[in-house]
Amino acid sequence: MSIEVKNVSRVYGSFAALNNVSLSVKKGELIALLGPSGSGKTTLLRIIAGLDWPDAGDISLNGKSVIGEGASERGVGFVFQHYALFKHLSVFENVAFGLRVRPRATRPSNDEIKDRVMRLLKLVQIDWLADRSVTQLSGGQRQRVALARALAIEPEVLMLDEPFGALDAKVRLELRRWMRRLHEEMGMTTIFVTHDQEEAMELADRVVVMGQGKIEQIGTPQQIYGHPINPFVYEFLGQVNRLPCTVAGGVATIPGVAVEPSFRVRQFDGPGVAYIRPHDLEATPGKDDGVVRVLAPSGPTIKFEVELKNGNGSVEVQMNTGRFEALKIAPGMSVGLIAHTFKVFDPSQVDGEANGTTSSAAHA
């Protein structure tokens, strides 16, 4: 089912939770809504599902406006952030709920319901829990029940609000992969909310980055990560060093950091702020741009801080461990810095000081 969100606004009191949001989703796509807390992700999801109504704008499913229809008519599968399972029903009955409430004419027989529910429970790998009370399940198992329950009505659109938010890292990873496979097998349109950029990047066909009730950027994970269109998206997608710079004729100069000679900045001239990812910076011994301070080895790469001599704070550098060891870099050592690629934004677009590292909002 294709989804078309047109100029949707939602206001709570005087606070605009959604401000003129437009989005179109093709049939069969897997979309991630990514954004910091309070950016309106849940609100947008609920409005598409028909659990909330916009103050302005329109929602179409399969090209037909559904603004006058409630959630029960839209037939959208919805998985709630906190699962919202029926505690008075067993696992089996939770999943069967959507079938049992159908009007008699379209309601499957008891045997069919049993068949279908058991098939779904097998699909989500908890068929052995069918007779349990949902209060006796672990978080991951509840998540699966919620998913099976939403799938039982064979929705053309599946919406998941932070489906893996409350789970530990290992279960998260497992369920994530498994959800991608499920999406490919069932071929329905899927929208899920997350504030974990890694999750969005790994799972989604396209990522919608939201900030403060607006959509900041829509694109494939590569587009979003490689070409963030504004500082907000850049910062949200991972750690970044912000340093003042000047650009003249495509050549950038950053005080305290050398720039790869062949690198050119496009469509920018004058004073700006350079956004440099830690892994696009390299430290070289023998020069004196800054002093190595703190080391944080993490497997194949190593992260460390370099305090700049020119007083512009410190920057974070990420290098691969082999190269790092070959250069024999150690805390207290003076090093030179070279930036391979980066992006320059206008200072007026940037909030806060253009000095040193900012951590990504996702980790905040």
Partner 1 sequence: MTFSLFKSNPGSRRSVIPGFGITLGLTITWLSLIVLIPLAGLFLKSATLSFDQIVAILTSPRTLSALRVSFGISLGAAAINAVFGVIVAWILVRYDFPFKRVADAFVDIPFALPTAVAGIALTSLYAPNGWIGSLLEPLGIKVAFTPLGILVALVFIGLPFVVRTVQPVIEDMDKELEEAATALGATRRQIIWRVILPVIFPSIATGFALAFARAVGEYGSVIFIAGNLPLVSEIAPLLIVIRLNEFAYAQATTIAAAMLVISFVLLFIINLLQRWSARYAR
Ligand X SMILES: Nc1ncnc2c1ncn2[C@@H]1O[C@H](COP(=O)(O)OP(=O)(O)OP(=O)(O)O)[C@@H](O)[C@H]1O
Of the pair 101, 294, the CB lying nearest partner 1 is at 101
Contact with partner 1 (CB under 8 A): which of 56, 84, 330, 364? 84
Cα angle vertex 115, ends 112, 119, to 5°?
A: 140
Structure tokens at 118: 């058991």
Of the pair 42, 141, the CB lying nearest Mg ion is at 42
Q: Collapse the DSSP code of 212 into the 3-class scheme (helix H, G, I; strand E, B; otherwise coil) and give the result.
A: coil
Which residues are CB-contacts of 311 (< 8 A; sequence separation ≥ 6)? none
3-state SS record for 324-361 = HHHCCCCCCCEEEEEECCCEEECHHHCCCCCCCEECCH
Q: How near is the Cβ of 17 to ligand X at its closest, in Å?
A: 3
35 binds, among ligand X, Mg ion, partner 1, none (CB under 5 to 8 A by kind): ligand X
Interface region with ligand X, contact rule CB under 6 A, candidates 34-42, 100-108, 135-143, 277-285:
34-42
Of the pair 101, 296, the CB lying nearest partner 1 is at 101
What's the rounded Cα separation, in Å, for the pair 19 and 192? 20
Contact with partner 1 (CB under 8 A): which of 11, 16, 67, 71? 71
Of the pair 10, 74, the CB lying nearest ligand X is at 10
Name the nearest CA neighbour of 293 among 309, 314, 263, 266.
Answer: 314
- Contact track, partner 1, 92-111, x by CB under 8 A: -----xx-xxx---------
Contact 8, 58 (CB under 8 A): yes
Examine residue 133 and tell whether it contacts partner 1 (CB under 8 A). yes
User: Phi-psi bin for 284: left (phi > 0), alpha (psi -120 to 50), beta?
Assistant: beta
Residues 223 to 262 in contact with ligand X, rule: CB under 6 A:
none
Interface region with partner 1, contact rule CB under 8 A, candidates 22-30, 146-154, 172-180, 271-279:
146-154
Q: Collapse the DSSP code of 264 into the 3-class scheme (helix H, G, I; strand E, B; otherwise coil) and give the result.
A: coil
Q: How near is the Cβ of 12 to Mg ion at its closest, in Å?
A: 14
Q: How near is the Cβ of 251 to partner 1 at its closest, in Å?
A: 56
Name the site residues for ligand X (rule: CB under 6 A).
Answer: 12, 17, 35, 37-43, 195
